[in-house]
Structure 1
């Protein structure tokens, strides 16, 4: 035997309230200059934004995320619905709608589109993704563990062959200097010291005697 269908009082109340709010929004949009199908589209836009914000609010709350953005758009849609209900209750002359209300009604589609887009496509990082349980340690392939924990081989240092020791510099043979030349050099050195007050250097001695550099160095060594 089929169960008897009983009317749900909450559902009936929701349908009546929705129909009245729908009519009030239509009347306000029509009074603000939105005629024809546009006047009927306004209540649909407001109710859809209200439902989308409420659904988004519940999803964020269940996920433990921040619900401030969803609350913002829910409040905007609720204010639009309540404002239309109050405005059409005799407090507003629908035959002479003020300019600011016409501006609000005309700008509603852009505002509703922005709110719906942000609710459907939230910013990155606000939606929690599906939880992924980490794999137990015993389910990880042993080859992966061995490859990650195996020590890297240490390269042995290459042996560099020792360079041969440099050959010693050849010792120059002593240059023979005649004794009379050494005596003459002593006189030149004494005269140079008396005139200048400085010792006679090798280059000057070489220039005075007209001898090679090696012989001049050998004479200077004997003068010391």
Structure 2
């Protein structure tokens, strides 16, 4: 904690010293260019405020992922004014005999600073982009969450996202009913075979008391299965 405070104190002290020196150099140049009294003290305030405002707006644009060309331009303009005043007071310029171009530059600075500050102040506010934290759901409640989400989606679909039902299904074809089997026509039996069939039927009735089965009679006579109808016609 103490090491952190020591680093912060060192930065603050360094910033105060640098700001005071730059402030003094800007005041001296403005006074040498004919801006006396309170006006000479207003120049360094104007330059430093434009420098800080442009830097802040430039950082906001960069964090939001947008172009920062305008704030960067005004930051460079304010930096050039501050750096130029510091260099001019290093003995490279005779402050007792200031050239005309420097007088014109100092006299025109208020309009430039006012224009730059107005543009920076009226620029649209850019909120800093923040990454949404991922939502962690418990494994036990995941199916319930999924079902509720599906229910909400189903409720919204009819009004917000109508679903195309698609072509109507074709009616199922009616089942084909197989035609009923038509019994084969009875084959005419010779009279002798007819008498034999009736004799076997009478014998079976007298023995069992029940009518004879056509298949049984046919089997006793040794006739093929196709003759069952003919045998039954004579019983």
TM-score (normalizing by structure 1) = 0.56
Contact 2:30 2:106 in 1 (8 A): yes
> What is the correspondence of 1:1-224 to structure 2 with a 5 Å cutoff?
6=6, 8-122=9-123, 127=126, 138=149, 145-149=157-161
How far apart, in 2, do the equivalents of 1:129 and 1:55 lie? 12
Q: How big is the shift at 1:148?
A: 4.1
- Larger gyration radius, structure 1 or structure 2: 2
Distance 1:26 1:146, change over 3 A: same
How far apart, in 2, do the equivalents of 1:150 and 1:79 lie? 62
Distance 1:35 1:63, change over 3 A: same
Q: How big is the shift at 1:30?
A: 0.7
SS at match of 1:11: helix
How far apart, in 1, do the equivalents of 2:52 and 2:70 lie? 14
Q: How big is the shift at 1:20?
A: 0.3
Q: How big is the shift at 1:146?
A: 3.2
Distance 1:146 1:60, change over 3 A: same
SS at match of 2:71: helix
How far apart, in 2, do the equivalents of 1:147 and 1:98 lie? 76
TM-score (normalizing by structure 2) = 0.53
Distance 1:65 1:90, change over 3 A: same
Q: How big is the shift at 1:127?
A: 3.7
Q: How big is the shift at 1:59?
A: 0.6
Contact 2:64 2:128 in 1 (8 A): no
How far apart, in 2, do the equivalents of 1:143 and 1:130 lie? 33
RMSD across aligned positions (CA): 3.3
User: Which stretches in structure 2 are left out of the alignment for 5+ residues?
Assistant: 133-147, 164-235
Q: How big is the shift at 1:147?
A: 3.5
Q: How big is the shift at 1:98?
A: 0.9
Q: How big is the shift at 1:99?
A: 0.9
Q: How big is the shift at 1:130?
A: 7.8
How far apart, in 2, do the equivalents of 1:43 and 1:150 lie? 66
Which residue pairs with 2:220 in the alignment?
A: none
SS at match of 2:84: helix
1:76-126 Cα offsets, whole Å, 9 max, x none, are 00000000001111111111111111110011111111111111222x6x8
